[in-house]
Structure formats: structure tokens, C-alpha cells
């Protein structure tokens, strides 16, 4: 995950978080959501088994939604 410029939360659906800020974690953990502070980076392993598109997004609504629709901290994870 990229470095954030502001606090972010990202939805992960029980994915293992294995490293933070470039260092492997002594005890990796499963996460549904990560709180990402400015400048932080995480390595999260995502196992994509079933084809389809899934939303990868921030849970802070002003970071992903505005008067004209979706923007910013939201993207699609597409599995073929």
C-alpha cells in the first residue's frame, strides 16, 4: 500500500498484514481494515481466488465520495 498524506482506512477483507514501513512484522496479523497514518506503508497479502471486480477503498467517505460521485481513494481490484 502506498504512503498516505493524511489518515486513511482501507478495507482488506481478512487479509494478512505482513510488514509495516519496510520492516517485516514479528507477528503478522489478519486485518479487515487498516488505519494508515501519514507516511505509513503496509504490505498486505491478498489472495484472489474468484474472478471478478472488487472495490478497494478508504472508509473515510470524504476521501472517496463527493458531489459529483466517486473519486480519490477508491480503485478496483480485478481478478481474471
CATH number of the structural domain spanning residue 71: 2.60.40.420
For the segment 68-78, the average pLDDT, to the nearest whole number, is 85
pTM: 0.68
**pLDDT computed for residue 12 by the predictor:** 60
Does residue 54 sit within a domain? Answer: yes
Query: Which residues, 6 or more positions from 76, have their beta carbon under 8 angstroms from its beta carbon?
Result: 53, 54, 55, 56
**pLDDT computed for residue 2 by the predictor:** 45
The residue to which cell 471486480 is assigned: 53
Does residue 3 sit within a domain? Answer: no
- Domain of residue 66: give its range: 8-79
User: How many structural domains comprise the chain?
Assistant: 1
Residue 25 cell numbers, joined: 512484522
Q: How far apart are CA 73 and CA 60, in angstroms?
A: 9
φ, ψ of residue 61 in degrees (nearest 5): -55, -40
The pLDDT of residue 33 is above 90? no
First to last CA, the chain: 21
Amino acid at each position: 500500500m502506498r504512503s498516505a498524506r493524511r489518515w486513511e482506512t482501507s478495507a482488506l477483507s481478512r487479509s494478512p498484514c505482513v510488514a509495516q514501513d519496510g520492516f517485516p512484522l514479528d507477528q503478522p496479523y489478519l486485518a479487515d481494515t487498516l488505519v494508515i497514518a501519514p507516511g505509513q506503508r503496509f504490505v498486505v497479502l491478498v489472495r484472489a481466488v474468484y474472478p471478478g471486480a472488487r472495490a478497494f477503498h478508504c472508509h473515510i467517505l470524504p476521501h472517496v465520495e463527493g458531489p459529483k460521485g466517486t473519486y480519490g481513494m477508491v480503485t478496483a481490484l480485478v481478478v481474471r
